[in-house]
Structure 1
Amino acid sequence: MPCDQPEQDRLALQHQVYLLALKGKLTTTRITSATRRILDLGTGPGYWAVAMAQQYPHAEVVGVDMAVWDIETTEAVAPNARVTWEIDDLDVWGVEPELDDVTLRLERYNPYRDHANREPLDSPAKQKTKASDSQTHTQPHTPSDPSFDLYSLEPEVQPGWHFSDTFDLIHMRSMKGVFAYWEGVYDEIYKNLSPGGWVEIADYDMTMPSLEEMAGIEEFPFPALRKLYLGVMQASFKSGRPIGTYYMHPTYLEDAGFKDVQTTYVNVPIGQWPEDEEQRKIGKLFLVSVMEMLEANLLRLLTVWGDAEKIWSVEEVKDEIERGKKEILEWSRGPDRQGKTEGWCASFKWIVGRKSKNA
């Protein structure tokens, strides 16, 4: 993803969409006076982190991202908010998939399945982690070992995340396609939470109708969108980081040890087709965000990984995006020609889980 000004502006719009979807709330969890530390994982330009610091000044808010953003612009909106910013790549499990594995995965992959289902297929990182766990580990040096030097001994760095203290809330937003090994991510989140602390993950789905759903229609009315959708889903799968909200499946949290796992769903319109004024407002904002995110989300995946048939050129991606934008505008105008009473929506959701106080 680019970290330029247009992308920062788009993420500012997206932040407003999340905010409006929750009717002005920043989180579905309960923040109390006992909430000491809050982590915004994958903070980007830090809009959520700054807003949380402004609303809950008693809490220490930390924003971490692997990229450098224009944080000063974000902070200028709320000069009294205090956020600690950290740059760190927390994907300690990233593994490039093998060619044979990619071929097999694409043969089994159905891009129209429910992307909220857990584990479209085992990730390469998960497979390699399983393999490494089954291998014999090297024995550590001992004082009888000639290479052992008592005076230069340093503690061995353990794999995982290393924060200075635990958190009472760890928050992630719009992280689909970021990590290859989500089991490890949730294990680390659990480890870095204080007893009684919460995790919250927010994201959304924008699915295309499947061929079965389009039965009876001679030709799909938006061929560019269909081509882009298929291409980017296949490319993300080839990269080892499938796009979709499957990583928010409740069993990921439950397997990591979280209790009281709950999900909040909100349908957000794409475009100004709703009659309700507030819904029209959020629909307009989200439509602009969708239009602006296409190149940022698609260009690298399609030009590096390509779809099931080929690697795309930059020109091919940009040309198809321009056609896709015209189709999005047409689709977002209102209910489709099949007589439905609602237009195009995205499914936003927030899932939370609590670490036991006795953990």
Structure 2
Amino acid sequence: MHYLFSIVFENSLIFPPITRPRRILECGFGTGDWAIEVAQQHPSCEVVGIDICPHIWPDEAQTPPNLNLQVDDLNGRFTFPSNHFDLVHSQMMAGGIHSNRWRDYLRDIHRVLRPGGWVQTVEIYFNAQSDNGTLTQNHALRRWSRRYLDSMQPYKDPRAPLQMQSWMQSAGFDSVETQMIPLPTCGWSNGTESPDTRLQIIDANQRCKIHGNIRSAWQTERTTLSNDGVPGVSFEQPPQASVREKQLTALLYSMTSQEFQVLVAQARSEADNPEFRGASVVEANHFLANRFIADPGEP
């Protein structure tokens, strides 16, 4: 995702007007690409990254000396002191933050930011839409998209990007800027004979993402059939099945295997059809923390 966002945001890593940050926190650093680049660009800044999964961490040789990566669960209360960071970066957390945790998560971010500090959030709303209005609610891609989003609930809130601005304001932030940027699911014409290289790159990345999501559900669907392949008959997922697999399995209970296979095939075809100008939406925000917040755990 880092490469995709570097194209979308034209290589801009930090959105708000920060020139000499002293401490930066990244929530959910993943492979560490964003944190590494920021640490390299600001060698005098202490960059801290938090993620619950250490298995995809970058090699130690790639990690700048001013970057500190830590294992922690962002669904628990932050342990950092109040008024500590100049910037908090939260990206693609809708799949990680519990639905009942979001408001406290944003309050935690506000608390650990110094007065005048900033938070920037980047989330994708994976609701397939049409730039020209030709993709209706009855199309397979829209029906697949709704089922995919519904499968994440009630544990996660895939519609969190739509509420981010109001949640941020409730947490005490001042809204400064919100961007809604379409991410094409396939190649769009730009109205000229010359292809738009930036759109082509975004298209290629998004197509892989969309097809990957659809394919993951297809693979899950195959494991939920009984051994004799009776459509619509499922067995209990093994204990090692991930939460995502269980969520996607739940998505299938209202459909027969044949119905699901048809839906997947049609959704993939529509995602690749440039006439629909299909897209997801990335929402990028940055908000100002302009008040002193005391840590309620401190005396």
Same topology, TM > 0.5: yes
**Aligned residue pair count:** 260
Q: Mean alpha-carbon deviation: is it higher for 78-87 or for 288-297?
A: 288-297
Report what 2:287 is aligned to: 353
Per the TM alignment, residue 293 of structure 1 is displaced from its structure 2 partner at its CA by 4.0
Identity %: 21
Gap change, CA 1:264 and 1:246, over 3 Å in 2: closer
TM-score (structure 2 length as normaliser)? 0.73
Matches of 1:265 and 1:209, distance apart in 2: 13
Higher strand share: 2
1:65-84 matched pairs, under 5 angstroms: 65-73=51-59, 78=62, 80=64, 82-84=66-68
Asked if 1:50 is matched to 2:45, the reply is: no
Instruction: Give unmatched runs, 5+ long, in structure 1.
Output: 1-13, 93-159, 337-342
Instruction: Report the 3-state secondary structure (helix = DSSP H, G, I; strand = E; otherwise coil) of the residue aligned with 1:250.
Output: helix
Per the TM alignment, residue 21 of structure 1 is displaced from its structure 2 partner at its CA by 0.6
Per the TM alignment, residue 189 of structure 1 is displaced from its structure 2 partner at its CA by 0.7
1:1-359 matched pairs, under 5 angstroms: 14-33=1-20, 35-73=21-59, 78=62, 80=64, 82-92=66-76, 160-163=77-80, 166-177=84-95, 178-180=97-99, 181-208=101-128, 220-222=138-140, 225-226=141-142, 228-239=144-155, 241-246=156-161, 248-274=163-189, 275-294=195-214, 300-301=243-244, 303-304=246-247, 307=250, 310=253, 320=260, 324=264, 327-336=267-276, 343-356=277-290
Query: Letter of the aligned partner of 1:195 in structure 2?
Result: P
Gap change, CA 1:232 and 1:242, over 3 Å in 2: same
Matches of 1:352 and 1:276, distance apart in 2: 28
Report what 1:99 is aligned to: none
Query: Letter of the aligned partner of 2:30 in structure 1?
Result: G
Instruction: Report the 3-state secondary structure (helix = DSSP H, G, I; strand = E; otherwise coil) of the residue aligned with 1:208.
Output: strand
Matches of 1:305 and 1:267, distance apart in 2: 25
Instruction: Give unmatched runs, 5+ long, in structure 2.
Output: 190-194, 221-242, 294-299
Contact 2:183–2:203, Cα closer than 8 Å, also in 1: yes
Contact 1:232–1:302, Cα closer than 8 Å, also in 2: no
Matches of 2:252 and 2:267, distance apart in 1: 24
Contact 1:232–1:301, Cα closer than 8 Å, also in 2: no
* Structure ID, larger Rg: 1
Matches of 1:287 and 1:80, distance apart in 2: 33
Per the TM alignment, residue 331 of structure 1 is displaced from its structure 2 partner at its CA by 2.7
Matches of 1:257 and 1:16, distance apart in 2: 32
Matches of 1:308 and 1:286, distance apart in 2: 22
Per the TM alignment, residue 228 of structure 1 is displaced from its structure 2 partner at its CA by 3.6
Matches of 1:232 and 1:221, distance apart in 2: 14
Query: Letter of the aligned partner of 1:250 in structure 2?
Result: Q
Query: Letter of the aligned partner of 1:42 in structure 2?
Result: G
TM-score (structure 1 length as normaliser)? 0.62
Per the TM alignment, residue 346 of structure 1 is displaced from its structure 2 partner at its CA by 2.2
Matches of 1:287 and 1:184, distance apart in 2: 34
Contact 2:129–2:142, Cα closer than 8 Å, also in 1: no
Instruction: Report the 3-state secondary structure (helix = DSSP H, G, I; strand = E; otherwise coil) of the residue aligned with 2:118.
Output: strand
Q: What do residues 301-333 of structure 1 show as CA deviations (whole Å, max 9, x unaligned)?
A: 4635755783899xx69x958963673354334
Matches of 2:269 and 2:126, distance apart in 1: 15
Query: Letter of the aligned partner of 2:67 in structure 1?
Result: V
Gap change, CA 1:358 and 1:184, over 3 Å in 2: closer
Query: Letter of the aligned partner of 1:19 in structure 2?
Result: S
Instruction: Report the 3-state secondary structure (helix = DSSP H, G, I; strand = E; otherwise coil) of the residue aligned with 2:38.
Output: helix
